[in-house]
Amino acid sequence: MKTEPGSEIVLNDLAPTSANFQSEFIAGLKRHPKSLPCKFFYDERGSTLFDDICELKEYYLTRTETKILHDNIEEICAICGSDCVLVELGSGKSSKTRLLLDHLETPVAYVPIDISRPHLLRAAEAINGDYFPLQILPVCADYNQPLTLPVPARIPKRKVIFFPGSTIGNFEPRQAAAFLRRLATWCQPGDGLLIGVDLQKSRNILHAAYNDTRGVTAAFNLNLLRRANREIGASFILEQFRHRAIYDEANGRIEMHLVSQCQQRVVLAGEEIRFDEEETITTEYSYKYREEAFRALASAAGWRAQRTWIDEHRLFSVHYFRRRNFVAHPLEISRNLLQRREKTRKIRGSSSQCIRQRERSLFP
């Protein structure tokens, strides 16, 4: 692509305010058990730490997804088609996006959406300079909230939503179904969804990925408390909490927690929050899917499977879906999920222990 000065970047700034952060943070700590939205990881320091995580030897997700994209890029871009607008959710450094932009035929625009304003602007400016005259339309927003996408100057043939990194795994299954359905409402029939999905695998691989030996993931997790201290005047003593990540095999998910190492109380915005020793704050779920279970989930949410790419070790998958003419109602999605859960329970009841461990369903 051309490397000449790009046009001026115009940011669509819909970022949550500090008041939003404070109210959601306090509400999460008042729950039983305590939990915080994982979107709060991504202040500027958290975004940088996550970039460091993606480079870790143990963290196979980024490396494996990037290789899948690299090895299949011609086919992926052929399916996306010419003259598309590429919308990326949780764009971060937009490093995987460059693979697509290098091979897409005459893309109309790139719309990166990220909750971290500094990170988003740096990435958008870099893309703008390297891919001029491609129109870059960055949106700083929480994509879990309603938002209106910017309209490119040139009319695209289709929209392709790019959702890499298995971020869909941070949603619980019913939430994931509802989110995929909302993405479908952004689209017209024939528009695409290119999405990365982590697969179920051995406990040892998963444990290492979320408990790296350098402690970067621990620093990333604890940064939530550091951010609360800085932005809303909380009184967390970081040394009195520790990182814990475990694999819940029954639910097919990694759980990340912050564990209180003693009885303590924390004050934030005039509110006192008490912690018992060993009490936890859940900070993230990361669900791991079987490929057919995820395709069924997306199908119920209004997407038709077109192609799935999986690495040779079957660690990770990348899927391309097209938006169907009909988008299922949330009640229908819930019924389908419940039916699949019941069907899976019956299958388990007649399977051997070995098969149950290997093929455990997404919805136990």
CB 73 within 8 A of CB 103: yes
Calculate the alpha carbon distances from 38 to 21, 47, 79, 284 in Å.
12, 12, 32, 5
CA angle 280, 213, 114 (to 5 degrees): 65
Structure tokens at 34: 């305590």
Q: How far apart are the first and last CA of the chain?
A: 48
What's the mean pLDDT in 214-233? 97
Q: Are the beta carbons of 111 and 9 closer than 8 angstroms? A: no
Give the confidence band of 342 by pLDDT, cuts at 50, 70, 90: low
The CA distance from 313 to 278, in Å, is 37
Q: According to the CATH classification, is domain 60-201+288-358 in 3.40.50.1370?
A: no
CA distance linking residue 47 with residue 59, whole number of Å = 16
Give me the pLDDT at residue 20, please: 87
What predicted TM-score, i.e. pTM, was given to this entire model?
0.86
Between the alpha carbon of residue 71 and those of residues 55, 100, 158, the distances in Å are 19, 12, 24
Per-residue pLDDT at 361 exceeds 50:
no
Average the pLDDT over each of 58-72, 197-211, 330-344 and give the range with the smallest value: 330-344
- The pLDDT confidence band at residue 351, using thresholds 50, 70 and 90, is very low
CB-based contact 238:67 (threshold 8 Å): no
What DSSP string describes 122-166?
A: HHHHHHHHHSTTSEE--EEE-TTS---PPPPSSPPSEEEEEE-TT
Structure tokens at 65: 């997804």
Please report, for the chain, the start and end positions of each structural domain, with discontinuous segments joined by +: 60-201+288-358, 203-287
pLDDT-derived band at 363 (thresholds 50, 70, 90) equals very low
Secondary structure (DSSP) of 9-46: P--EEEPPPHHHHHHHHHHHHTSSSEE--GGGG-SHHH
Q: How far apart are CA 239 and CA 260, in angstroms?
A: 9
Phi and psi, residue 275, nearest 5°: -125, 135
Whole-angstrom distance, CA of residue 364 vs CA of residue 351? 14
The angle, 0 to 180 degrees and rounded to 10, between the axes of the packed helices 330-350 and 173-185 is: 140
For the residues 319-348, what does the mean pLDDT come to? 65
Name the average pLDDT for the chain.
89
Contact 359, 351 (CB under 8 A): yes
19: Cα within 13 Å, side-chain hemisphere: 0
Name beta bridge partners: 273. Answer: 266
Per-residue pLDDT of 227-284, as tens digits, reads 999 999 999 999 999 999 999 999 999 999 999 999 999 999 999 999 999 999 999 9
DSSP state letters, 83-99: SEEEEEES-TT-HHHHH
251 three-class SS? coil
What's the length of the chain?
364
pLDDT of residue 64 exceeding 90, the answer is: yes
